[in-house]
Structure 1
Amino acid sequence: MPTQHYSVTQPPIETLLTRVKSGEMAIPEIQRPFVWSAVKVRNLLDSLYQGYPVGYLITWRNPNVKLKDGSTSSGKHILIDGQQRVIALMAAVLGLDVVDKNYKRIKIRIAFHPMKEQFEVLNASIEKDFSWIPDISVVFDPKTSIFDLVTAYCDKNPGATRDEIFRSIERMKGVTSNQIGLIELDSDFDIETVTEIFIRVNSEGVPLSQADFAMSKIAVNESYRGNTLRKAIDYFCHLAVAPEFFNDMQNDKKFTESEFFQHMGWLRNEKEDIYDPSYTDMLRVAFTSEFQRGRLEDLVALLSGRNFETRQYEEVIVEDSFNRLKKGILRFMNETNFKNLIIIIRSAGFVDSSMIRSQNSLNFAYILYLTLRDQGIPPADIERYVRRWFVMSVLTGRYSYSPESTFDYDIRQIHDQGIKAYANGQISGALSDAFWESALPQNLNTSVASSPFFRLYQAAQIKANDLGFLSKDITVRELIEVKSDVHHLFPRDYLKKSGLAPGHYNQIANYVVAQSEINIAIGNKEPRIYFNQLLEQCCEGPKLYGNITDMDELKENFCMNCIPEGVENMTVEDYPEFLTERRRLMAQKIRRYFEGL
């Protein structure tokens, strides 16, 4: 019979809240934004009042760790499912502040109508109505006399009887005696098992990520200021997206005294959005660059104190892991490091956030930058290696599947072989002649406008300083950064009327970046019509599309935009042949671009 590595109990809610207040049970999300609405808090209280079930909570015990003096410290229970419910109860019943989505501390006040036995979110109207108790946390306050409360209520509401109000308030106060299901998982469960249990028990079936577990482990460690580290990660990610948050962050006086605050202050004036990392991105980069490992599961184990050789848990490993992770996070936040990465990515032609479809390619580019800088590689070489590796990983979809395993393998090989040997070997193997001549043209056979291959083609144009389609002076870079249209060389309406399906007429090999006015002027004209009009425009004919009036300039524009020869004679029957040739030309352009990085 298999050993049971968990227990199921049904403690009263008041016992649960006591465990949280005492620190026996840790809530890792307590400093993160409370995502429930006040109405949802009200509904939870009403369900408890009606005696309805409110689901199970799941805790996962931290392993016992061996201290330096040889003694053992018992691990806390971390609440991994049910955080919002518990925080809602602490906010409504105990009157504690919560942190909203803007990281501001707010109160959630739930009112109770003892005669109607009804809960509502406190509002201005209810606050003026004496028939409501405006804040139920007053009822749960040990200093409150229920006798005095009932007397005062009845004095203000002559129609109410003391017995009726007393019974109603006592019933409301009794919700903390309701039992709640609690599944307590042993420390010897691995992340995959805990995740599986979470999915099976949680009716919404939303899986927890390994980053969620890591953030939980960080937040509940008081010995090594895990809560401050957790805040630093959350605050940096929020500030990167919303620089105006800096003013609100300053209200956290304790955090402003930390070294983390000093390292992220530069973001208050930063408008760049090429890289807006999530906490998962930040953890991956900091962990992989500092620990030379790619699996966040390993970070969770190290933060718990796991010795991978003895399989024991030791406090000295917890301390070392927190110190190293802190170092990695500070390096991530460093203004010079962060901005240098952005400069390198932009120098590869990726000048707008819409062009970057692989966050993990960007993450590993930062890992590689930090790693090579640690190794003392000359800055010019770092730029080239990072730029080429980033573009190669996008071209090949290197981190699209099993990114953590690939991160782990790549970082180990870079340290073992050196970046020069490893990068050259991987690039020559992945980007062979067969890739450029066969695989890449095939990859360009797609109707997905957000395809990384179309973005790579645009990056190649930006790197070459190409002009927009039929533009005399305006570059592709300027069009993408400010305003552009994706023009169909074979106009969409023309192909639709010819009976083609969206998957055919929206092929990316049919796209060019163009000025809006040029796109509008062409409309749905057949290619052989408007291309012949362009030829006439360059022979002193009427100027209909853009400002190019010189034949050599027109041919050069066609070349930089990969327009196949003979397009001025093409009809819908030539469309398949046109797509094939243009994919070949686009692939050649991307190859020249990559080889020049």
Structure 2
Amino acid sequence: MHVDRIERSIGKLIDEISSAEILLPEIQREYVWKPTQVAKLMDSIYRGYPFGSLLFWETDDVPETREMFVSGPERAPSKPPLFLLDGQQRLTSLHRVFSDHPEAQVVFHVENQKFQNQSAATQRDPKWVKVADVLDPKASMLRLTQRLLDAGSTLEDHEIEDRLGKIKELRNRRFFMEVLKGFPYEEVAEIFVRVNSGGRRLGTLDLAMATLSTRWTGVLTRLQRESEHWLRHGYGHIDVNFLSRALAGVVLGRGLSVWSHSKLRQTGDTELEQGWEVVKRGLRRLVPLLQTHLKLTRSDPLPSMIVLIPLVVLLGERTDDTVDEETSNGIIYWLLLATIRTRYSGSTDTRLSQDIRAARQPDPVRALLEGLNVENSRAEVTERALRGRTKESPYFFLSLLVSMARGAGDWWYGSDILPDTEMAPRLEHHHVHPLSTLDDRRFDKGMVNDLANLVFISAQANKKINGRSPIEYFPTLDEHELRAHLVPLDESLRDPNGYQRFLNARRALLAEAMNGLLDRFRPPFLDEVPVENADPSAGLSLDLALYGSIRDGGRIVFTASGDGISWVGSASMAELDSAIESARVAGIDSDVTIAGESTPVEMIEDSLQVHIGPFLVTGTPEEWRGVFDRELDTSQPLSALPRIEAKQWDGEPIKFPITSTD
């Protein structure tokens, strides 16, 4: 066994990818880079910055491989392939740019020497030139230069030629490469895991998947086949990532951790085979349960797929083929409460470990409910808990379930609000009182986008509303169409002046229906116990308001309220956005200044946690990204930023899901 250290040009490496002389072993993750990252890589290479080394494996024993996300002509390899272990994101990105891939349309501004992904604005500006056009071997530098001069470039022709020539020369920039020779597959996998875990570029799920690939040849093919089966049945979110997490959960009896790959490496083939059968059997029992009991014909409305894993364990490890109604109802009851309480919004794998253990107890439903601290109480949804909730809230999911339970269809057209396949149009929602009818001086964005103002209707139905007030378009709907969506019929609530009363009335109807849904599935042993609020965060509120943008020094203002809580603070949007991206892309912890105090932005397992005033705000990086994108869409001018006195919060922080913010 030895390691060769060599150099190779970018152009040569791209040609070898096209001719299948560079392949991806099964242990690799999927391509995940975003267009902005691709443009930054091109910029770094153009400026002569370091752009990293590559790690390959050369072997006579060809391993299972996975597809490389590139396009272009593929020729038969003229020599044995190299298997890429480290550098997939960079090499795939470069191949995409050089081969003019439709998802890597990087352009270059010749005057400010800036790279970015193609947009409508760059297409209108002839001073932007597509990098692939410059890299094309048949491209004429003279014609490109003349085109830019004709577009009004203020540069001299030789300066334009020099800058385009630097792009042309990118093909000749060289990567340092290390090639492992004579190493067995298991040792290569261990090297792969170590290389990719040092900087936390791979999460625990990626590392577990890499280890499973080495322990069980062909596992990716099995996972993909099972994923395709569920995609055909409307459950496309049962994908390779979900299945590998579920398999690891069954085999390890716990959630993932940084030590999971070492434990998986010690797992025998028989255990893996048995675990895989448990996963498949559990899903084939659970999904029909969701379809019959909740009318959940698709997976995309589920706020969290992880909530299914303990139930897969519970059902998959049962020896009998039938599940009694009491157990079935208890499973659904736990799923609904776990969703309301955002069970996995923080410390995901710690809680998953607790729930897998509970699912293996003699009385699994009771044990799972003990994990939610509701074994001695009957959960109830209150109107107060629904106040200020938006589509990011788990109550959005419950409002869909209760609407479907009442036979709600699309207004005017009557079609199902949740078609039975993920190939059908996505789930849509629109405002009962359109934004254009509500005075923004009386009703802020939180009130306008309140859950109680949202109904599940199509874009076609929303177009028919055409910005009209309910007082105008409700008379064209049958009462049944309104009742099915839990819309109050009181005509005084249809006028914008009655909007606040409309929200209150509809919250009451939604809360009543949600409690009816919970009561349908509540285990009998909870019938006589005291009532408790289903949501520990009921009555608490965290409002976000963005002033300005990321580029102009914009600030995001946090307003926290609730029993004994009144706090306002702000932070730099650019600083917070950067911290979230560092966590999301690389898993790197950061610090931001909130209310004048440095605050850690920490990744705990796969949850991003930030102390914001009285709250410990938690959620996945993707959930944080979604909430921040919402604020970017509704930002106010920086000139409207109110004066805020920096004030720290001294009390013990209360856990608060980022998805429950307004």
Normalising by structure 1, we get a TM-score of: 0.53
User: Aligned partners of 2:456, 2:412: CA distance in 1, in Å?
Assistant: 10
The amino acid across from 1:588 in the alignment is E
In the alignment, what sits opposite 2:155? none
3-state secondary structure, aligned to 1:13: strand
User: Aligned partners of 2:520, 2:284: CA distance in 1, in Å?
Assistant: 23
Q: Greater strand share, 1 or 2?
A: 2
Aligned partner (choices 81, 87, 91) of residue 96 of structure 1: 81
Aligned partner (choices 289, 300, 308) of residue 354 of structure 1: 300
Q: What is the Cα deviation at residue 291 of structure 1?
A: 3.7
Q: What is the Cα deviation at residue 593 of structure 1?
A: 1.2
In the alignment, what sits opposite 2:337? 392
In the alignment, what sits opposite 2:276? 329
Cα 1:415–1:433, aligned 2, differ >3 Å: closer, same or farther? closer
Q: Deviations over 1:427-456 (max 9, x none)?
A: 671895675226xx434523x435431121
3-state secondary structure, aligned to 1:12: strand
Cα 1:499–1:513, aligned 2, differ >3 Å: closer, same or farther? same
Aligned partner (choices 363, 381, 384) of residue 309 of structure 2: 363
3-state secondary structure, aligned to 1:353: coil
3-state secondary structure, aligned to 2:232: coil
Q: What is the Cα deviation at residue 519 of structure 1?
A: 4.1
Could you say which structure has the larger radius of gyration? 1
Q: Aligned pair 1:461/2:446, yes or no?
A: no
User: Aligned partners of 1:506, 1:450: CA distance in 2, in Å?
Assistant: 10
CA contact under 8 A between 1:493 and 1:524: conserved in structure 2? yes
Q: Deviations over 1:135-166 (max 9, x none)?
A: xxxxxxxxxxxxxxxxxxxxxxxxxxxxxxxx
User: Aligned partners of 1:518, 1:27: CA distance in 2, in Å?
Assistant: 47
Cα 1:276–1:586, aligned 2, differ >3 Å: closer, same or farther? same
User: Aligned partners of 2:469, 2:218: CA distance in 1, in Å?
Assistant: 63
Q: Greater helix share, 1 or 2?
A: 1
CA contact under 8 A between 2:411 and 2:481: conserved in structure 1? yes
Cα 1:479–1:497, aligned 2, differ >3 Å: closer, same or farther? farther
| Most deviating of 513-522 and 289-298 | 513-522
Aligned partner (choices 357, 361, 383) of residue 328 of structure 2: 383
In the alignment, what sits opposite 2:198? 197
CA contact under 8 A between 1:218 and 1:303: conserved in structure 2? yes
User: Aligned partners of 1:470, 1:479: CA distance in 2, in Å?
Assistant: 20
User: Aligned partners of 1:302, 1:490: CA distance in 2, in Å?
Assistant: 55
CA contact under 8 A between 2:254 and 2:356: conserved in structure 1? yes
User: Aligned partners of 2:4, 2:48: CA distance in 1, in Å?
Assistant: 15
Alignment RMSD (CA, Å):
5.6
CA contact under 8 A between 1:399 and 1:406: conserved in structure 2? yes
Cα 1:462–1:319, aligned 2, differ >3 Å: closer, same or farther? closer
Q: Where does the alignment leave 5 or more consecutive residues of structure 1 unmatched?
A: 1-8, 15-25, 60-82, 85-90, 102-106, 112-119, 128-171, 200-206, 241-265, 305-317, 535-544, 549-553
In the alignment, what sits opposite 2:504? 580
| Most deviating of 402-411 and 414-423 | 414-423
CA contact under 8 A between 1:274 and 1:352: conserved in structure 2? yes
3-state secondary structure, aligned to 1:227: coil
User: Aligned partners of 1:369, 1:212: CA distance in 2, in Å?
Assistant: 26
Count of aligned pairs = 405
In the alignment, what sits opposite 1:13? 6
Aligned partner (choices 284, 294, 300) of residue 255 of structure 2: 294
Q: Deviations over 1:221-243 (max 9, x none)?
A: 4xx5x33234433x336x52xxx
The amino acid across from 1:328 in the alignment is G
User: Aligned partners of 1:340, 1:423: CA distance in 2, in Å?
Assistant: 18
Cα 1:215–1:522, aligned 2, differ >3 Å: closer, same or farther? closer
User: Aligned partners of 1:431, 1:474: CA distance in 2, in Å?
Assistant: 41
User: Aligned partners of 1:292, 1:432: CA distance in 2, in Å?
Assistant: 28
Normalising by structure 2, we get a TM-score of: 0.49
Q: What is the Cα deviation at residue 397 of structure 1?
A: 0.9
Q: What is the Cα deviation at residue 572 of structure 1?
A: 3.1
Q: What is the Cα deviation at residue 299 of structure 1?
A: 3.4
CA contact under 8 A between 2:24 and 2:83: conserved in structure 1? no
Q: How does 1:103-122 map to 2 (within 5 A)?
A: none
Cα 1:208–1:31, aligned 2, differ >3 Å: closer, same or farther? closer
Q: Where does the alignment leave 5 or more consecutive residues of structure 2 unmatched?
A: 8-22, 57-67, 70-75, 90-94, 100-130, 139-170, 181-186, 522-662
Q: Deviations over 1:316-370 (max 9, x none)?
A: xx253x43123222443x4x65343322222213223331221212333323321
Sequence identity of aligned pairs in percent?
18
In the alignment, what sits opposite 1:412? 357
Q: Aligned pair 1:216/2:210, yes or no?
A: yes
Q: How does 1:549-588 map to 2 (within 5 A)?
A: 554=479, 557-564=481-488, 566-568=490-492, 570-588=494-512
User: Aligned partners of 2:27, 2:179: CA distance in 1, in Å?
Assistant: 21
User: Aligned partners of 2:232, 2:264: CA distance in 1, in Å?
Assistant: 34
Q: What is the Cα deviation at residue 507 of structure 1?
A: 1.7
